[in-house]
Amino acid sequence: MFTMMNNARLNVGMQGVGIAERSLQQSFAYSKERKQGRHYDGGSNNSVNIIEHPDVLKMILKMESLTQASRAICYDNAIAIDLAKIIQIKIRENKQLKADLLTPISKSWATDVGVEVSSLGIQVHGGMGFIEDTGVAQYYRDSRIAPIYEGTNGIQAIDLVTRKLKISDGLAVKNFLNEIKETSKRCSEKMIMTL
């Protein structure tokens, strides 16, 4: 039963990622086509694409970073679920701990990202985003249910804090933090080599 629920929760998290991605793509395309106002440096009297306005660009970049980060955590969760099925018992146990830890995070954070990114998509579209012609208002409505079903995000938080963080005396969290440190170290070393 819990295997089915955990897979369903990850799927709902991926729904949040999908809605965020679609809202991002549409908003990015719109921002490159929609002309409004002059360039902020005042160098021209011609209208510019709205992506050239700092606030719109900031929203697009935020949408992109949130979408990519939520996708990454869900993918990492899915990999852990898959690797928890392999034969070597030590690897299987560690990956199951990781899957158990990441499932409530994937579900709740990715669905919250779907809501936030689709809301930003409406903002990028301005008044056009609020009416039905663009479709971005529908993304927001579609995203809003995801934090509610398959265990509300509040319930996911309670599960994380009261159960998942305590598994094996916090071993899942310790392992995950060590993995983050190792990844950060490798990334830092690669960045230094490129300089």
Annotated catalytic residues are 150
The alpha carbon of residue 164 and the mean position of all alpha carbons in its chain are separated, in whole angstroms, by 21
Distances (CA, A) of 8 to 52, 72, 78, 165, 182: 40, 18, 11, 21, 30
In order of 179, 185, 186, 189, the CA distances from 193 in angstroms are: 21, 12, 11, 6
Angle, CA of 95, 101 and 106, to the nearest 5°? 105
Q: What is the DSSP letter of 16?
A: H
Residue type, 142: D
Closest CA to 68 of 110, 30, 31: 110
Which H/E stretch holds residue 128?
helix 127-130
Residues 97, 174 contacting (CB under 8 angstroms): no
